[in-house]
Amino acid sequence: MSSKIPITIARGDGIGPEIMDATLRILEAAGAPLEYEEIQIGEQVYLSGELSGISKDSWDTIRRNKAFLKAPITTPQGGGYKSLNVTIRKSLGLYANVRPCKTFKPYIPAYCNDMDMVIIRENEEDLYAGIEHQQTSEVVQCLKLISRPGCEKIIRYAFEYAKTYDRKKVTCMTKDNIMKHTDGLFHEVFKEISKEYPDIETEHRIIDIGSAVVATKPEILDVVVTLNLYGDIISDIMAQVAGSVGLSGSANVGSGRAMFEAIHGSAPDIAGKDMANPSGILHGAILMLDYLGLSDYAKKIEAAALKTLEEGIHTGDLYQEGISTKKVGTKEFTDSVISNLGKSPNKIQVKERNAHPIEISIEPTKPQPKKLVGIDLFIDWNSDDRNPDVLGKILEDNSTDKLKLKMITNRGVKVYPDGMPETFKTDHWRCRYVSKSSEINNSDILELLSAVNNAKQDVIKTENLYEIAGERAYSLGQGE
Ligand code: NAD
């Protein structure tokens, strides 16, 4: 039986095949005990009519193997083609996006002091659930979904990552001063889990000032854990500031399976010209070797790649007069890395590590006592100069014995009762009803909906208001 680890590879589009070939040659020369199962994904698959960019057989291969090394692909413009990356991440439950980044001055110019940090981004939830609706002429919405298990998985992963890679500090970034329930949950779970890791320093930063720190003082950060959208934005800021967009790889990690890639795209402008720098996907492959428990091979290849960088042997994207010694194409660069296998860089440090796959298991959340205390009705209303007092009167006149109208907000700001005339009003009104008695149930909600419907008001959606475990489980209106 072969002792080689089978992995899935895809050569992708544009420069993908060239940089994948380069990476496979280096893995081979380093003796990495891997065998490859190749799948086709990307542009040709899309254009053959498969809107997801991947066939059923390819899914079977990806699901069979622990690791998938993926070259960049080109998503054709228009035509309803779905992002393959998002599809793969979500279908396979790859909940952690891990992007390490460091500076390599003076070989690569950077806009910051020397830094070495990792962003661990939640990969499945948040606004990326893609649940969007338009229900009035003026207003569209996107649902931000954050779950306790989702927070627990990514935050535990961040701490376990810090432990495995000997990192000293984990910084959580959220906007919980505004989104007290969604971002608040992420921060709360961070505080809970951090208690289990007393040897790791922890801190929380609000994402706006946190992003400014990533842009100007990233050297004070180590591991950052954050929600999907914020992570997406700050990981690009980080790579740009470090000057290492062309060098960085990333990992998308799930339970028992992970996908590795470069952070750049398929660069069609230089495809087939032997100009592409294969370092991004090579660093993706290094993350993969660590993930597979093959850290010795990971370190050997990382050392050879960084030695080549130090020697000034650079592809066109990194070439600079005075720093570089030789401008090379993809193939010659690859030959140089191969000839440096077994050597170490003089100045750049290659971190010691004894990595292993990080598997996170979480307990199911225990059901909490839940009490229905009211409802928000969202109404599409566009008459009487949008005077909220008129809508308030209609609703007050058509209320029920169990539920009373407490307030109306427009885009979150209270406009009834006692709103300010200056507040701008759209056609989208949130009408908050609270229970008059201590016990209400869904029949009382249906009775209210019926009354409002009889008053010819267009209810476009509803949100129940609960107390969960005795705590208010909804936000107050601004001015409530
Ligand atoms: P890109 O990253 O492909 O290219 C941006 C610029 O950087 C180009 O000038 C390119 O020549 C250069 N560049 C990128 N990688 C390089 C490398 N390894 N060596 C040398 N130069 C390199 O971004 P783009 O032009 O916005 O996107 C091109 C295509 O890639 C699009 O179809 C996009 O959808 C796709 N894309 C795919 C992925 C992925 O598969 N993960 C990610 C991003 C973009």
Q: What is the pTM of this model?
A: 0.92
User: Measured in angstroms, how far is the CA atom of residue 248 from the centroid of ligand 1?
Assistant: 13
Q: Which domains does the chain have, with CATH numbers?
A: 1-95+243-351 (3.40.718.10), 111-242 (3.40.718.10), 370-472 (3.30.70.1570)
pLDDT cut 90: percent of the chain above it: 84
Measured distance between the N- and C-terminal CA atoms of the chain, rounded to whole angstroms: 69
Structure tokens at 272: 């087939």
User: Measured in angstroms, how far is the CA atom of residue 190 from the centroid of ligand 1?
Assistant: 34
Residue nearest to atom 5 of ligand 1 (CA): 267
- Give the ligand 1 atom nearest the CA of 73: 40
pLDDT cut 70: percent of the chain above it: 100
Pairing mode of beta strands 201-206, 169-174? parallel
pLDDT value, residue 242? 92
pLDDT over 60 (residue 50): yes
**Ligand 1, pocket residues at CB < 6 Å:** 15, 19, 72-75, 85, 246, 261, 264-270, 276-277, 280, 317
User: Measured in angstroms, how far is the CA atom of residue 318 from the centroid of ligand 1?
Assistant: 15
Averaged pLDDT score across all residues of the chain: 94
User: Measured in angstroms, how far is the CA atom of residue 266 from the centroid of ligand 1?
Assistant: 4
Residue nearest to atom 10 of ligand 1 (CA): 267
List pLDDT tens digits, range 58-99. Answer: 999 999 999 999 999 998 887 778 788 888 988 899 999 999
- Give the ligand 1 atom nearest the CA of 281: 18
pLDDT value, residue 2? 64
Q: What sign has the CA pseudo-torsion 13, 17, 23, 27?
A: positive
Residue nearest to atom 8 of ligand 1 (CA): 267
User: Measured in angstroms, how far is the CA atom of residue 246 from the centroid of ligand 1?
Assistant: 9
pLDDT over 80 (residue 302): yes
Confidence of residue 340 (pLDDT cuts 50, 70, 90): very high
Pairing mode of beta strands 116-122, 313-315? unpaired
Give the pLDDT mean for 316-328: 93
The answer for 164, left when phi > 0, alpha when psi is -120 to 50, beta otherwise, is alpha
Give the pLDDT mean for 178-192: 97
When computed from its CA atoms, the radius of gyration of the chain, rounded to whole angstroms, is: 27
Give the pLDDT mean for 107-134: 92
pLDDT over 90 (residue 8): yes
* CA neighbor of 191 nearest in space, from 225, 220, 167, 216: 225
User: Measured in angstroms, how far is the CA atom of residue 37 from the centroid of ligand 1?
Assistant: 25
Beta bridge partners of 98: 120, 251
Beta bridge partners of 122: 96
Confidence of residue 1 (pLDDT cuts 50, 70, 90): low
pLDDT value, residue 380? 98
pLDDT value, residue 87? 86
pLDDT value, residue 352? 86
Residue nearest to atom 31 of ligand 1 (CA): 74
Residue nearest to atom 30 of ligand 1 (CA): 265
